[in-house]
Amino acid sequence: MADPTHKTHQEELLDHNYDGIQEYDNPTPGWWHLIFWGTIIWGVLYFVVVQMTALVPNQHERFEAVRTAAIEKQFAALMTIDDDLEKVLTVMGDENWLIQGKSVFAGACTLCHGQNGEGLIGPNLTDEYFKNATNLIGMIDVVTNGAANGAMPANKNLLTDNEIALVVGYVASLRGQNLEGPRGAEGEEIPPFPEPITADDGG
């Protein structure tokens, strides 16, 4: 009696023969197909998700977009003013702008001029004496382009025009406080600044 197992194997063997080697005609297991197609589907889904992620702003990008919009809205009123002097006078006449100017001052100026403008490495900004400027236009130029051969650094690449107007307006508002600092009076007394532009002036 023939071995049924041997008969089954004979029926499953393929006809071709390679150097005495034969192979069975067994189909690929179903689990292998599942893994194969699952990998393809996963790859497609991964590609779609990555592309969608590239198209949809991430949390940091959304934050920056909101921050930029807020800054544009915040500075909208100043951005409509072309004249630099008028812009500074407008800052001087608005308490909210002065608060913003104080914030810019804290980030860019306190290292040299002290927390309240009383002077440290740089001169006292609260008295009536000025070294490098004789008026507000001169102050704008000093903040923008620097002075004293670099002792006062230029800020034109660090601050926007609006931020320069804010900090100049704030510094101008410190005049007359006469806070005590480590440096004595420097420079010369200059004429009073023009009157600030307030909301009541239609500015």
String of DSSP letters for 81-117: ---HHHHHHHHHT-HHHHHHHHHHHHHHTHHHH-TTS
Summarised one tens digit per residue, pLDDT across range 136-148 is: 999 999 999 999 8
Decide if 109 contacts 168 (C-beta within 8 A). Answer: no
Domains of the chain: 4-55 (no CATH), 81-201 (1.10.760.10)
Decide if 122 contacts 112 (C-beta within 8 A). Answer: yes
| Most confident of the ranges 7-21, 69-83, 87-101 | 87-101
Distance between CA atoms of residues 65 and 54, nearest Å: 16
Q: What is the pLDDT of residue 55?
A: 62
Q: In percent, how much of the chain has pLDDT > 70?
A: 78
Nearest alpha-carbon partner for 137 in 190, 197, 84, 79: 84
What is the overall mean pLDDT for the chain? 84
- Tally Cβ neighbours within 10 Å of residue 74: 14
Distance between CA atoms of residues 95 and 26, nearest Å: 85
Tokens of 189: 């007394």
String of DSSP letters for 1-60: ---HHHHHHHHHB-S--BTTB--B-PPPPHHHHHHHHHHHHHHHHHHHHHHHHHHS--HH
Decide if 203 contacts 90 (C-beta within 8 A). Answer: yes
Summarised one tens digit per residue, pLDDT across range 149-199 is: 888 999 999 999 999 999 999 999 999 999 999 988 899 999 999 999 987
